[in-house]
Amino acid sequence: MLVLPPLSLYIHIPWCIQKCPYCDFNSHTLKAEIPERDYIHHLLCDLTQDLNRYQKSIRDRKLHSIFIGGGTPSLFSAESINFLLTEIKKQISFSDDIEITLEANPGTVEADRFNSYVIAGVNRISMGIQSFNDQKLTALGRIHNSAEAKRAVHFAKISGVSSFNLDLMHGLLNQSVEQAIDDLNQAIDLAPPHLSWYQLTIEPNTMFSYRTPILPNDDELWAIFEQGHQLLVDAGYQQYETSAYAKKGYECRHNLNYWRFGDYLSIGCGSHGKLSFPHGDILRFSKTKHPKGYLDGNYLYEEKKINYIDRAFEYFMNRFRLIEPVPKLEFEQLTGLSINSIQKEIEWGLKQKYIEDNEHYWQVTEQGKLFLNDLLEIFLPD
């Protein structure tokens, strides 16, 4: 028997005005008018199918959080977002304190649109700022500039939204340590409750993977991280995940549910979901990637069980990203495994000083964070 974790919902809207050269998400450049009404119709049909297919997992559960990501969800009108959320609530109950996040590109929002999103039910906005240096923004393929980014933050502050996040990158093309720290200082000055501060990585099958730009070296990247981390801590932000910082009480509940091995439904092109069942099964599933196939009504792409032999790796791959201790009881409740089944791996991690433990918890050490891949690999099945 498994203890069922909180249940979230991810909604993917795949269109962007243009594809960024570093982006490996399932996004598609908009070449004609966005099929807004048609796509929302299919999102709701997709959800209906999932609720029927997975009713043994979902029965009597309420949604803990909703995240509308992309792509660029802020290309959709507030009226459409309102209709979508209203219809979802008719199919599955919301918790009283549900967190509803909408991703927004600073180049596609206006003040009245933010206000309307809040009226529609959105209570958290995540903005893809990436940099406050216009030259860097152009190199990253972003459609906004620094002034538009700051204006969007102002709109978020006056919209009535409960919280907002800024996505900020470092380790950019030809970026000096000083430039990276200046970006972070400008972000901190805007006082966002939440900051996602992460390093640019070159992913396969992106434009940057075919024409690799010149990036800072390892020494520069380490200097950026050390100085930036201290800046954030001094400004009152707490690091709670590898690349996430928040003021106390403003951690992203939706992302925390991912990292805590929670459950999440998913609807929309190329989205991924995970569900636990009381009898012991854990499923992962994904949806059709291309809008054409999805809009033809072909939603489910793949579904597979997480075998017992893979569960320890899957659990720790998520859980060890968080700074907080990992409850031993939670491991057993959410995976269906006993602690004895991973005793050899835990002893290795303790010997390497990658983790510490006591009667109730495991805790990744500072050394463990530096060698996280090595720590995780020990949980891979032979």
Cβ–Cβ < 8 Å for 75, 39: no
User: 297 is written with which tokens?
Assistant: 């009504």
pLDDT at 31: 73
- Classify residue 319: in a domain, yes or no: no
- Classify residue 269: in a domain, yes or no: no
Domain boundary among 218, 239, 257: 257
* Positions of the chain with pLDDT under 70: 110-111
Whether residues 70 and 168 share a domain: the answer is yes
Whether residues 139 and 58 share a domain: the answer is yes
pLDDT at 207: 84
pLDDT at 269: 97
pLDDT at 349: 97
Whether residues 161 and 28 share a domain: the answer is yes
Please report, for the domain that includes residue 186, its CATH number. 3.20.20.70
Pairwise CA distance, residues 365 & 322, whole Å: 11
pLDDT digits (tens, 9 = 90+) for 166-180: 999 999 999 999 999
In this structure, the chain runs to a length of 382
Domain range enclosing 375: 326-382
Characterise 171 by phi-psi region: left (phi > 0), alpha (psi -120 to 50), beta (else).
left
Whether residues 252 and 331 share a domain: the answer is no
Whether residues 65 and 185 share a domain: the answer is yes
Domain boundary among 257, 276, 310: 257
pLDDT digits (tens, 9 = 90+) for 70-103: 999 999 999 999 999 999 999 999 999 999 999 9
**Cα–Cα distances in angstroms (integers) from residue 339 to residues 2, 177, 380, in the given order:** 15, 44, 16
pLDDT at 181: 98
pLDDT at 128: 94
CA-wise closest residue to 67 among 174, 150, 152, 165: 165
- Classify residue 309: in a domain, yes or no: no
Count: domains in the chain: 2
- Classify residue 149: in a domain, yes or no: yes
Whether residues 78 and 164 share a domain: the answer is yes
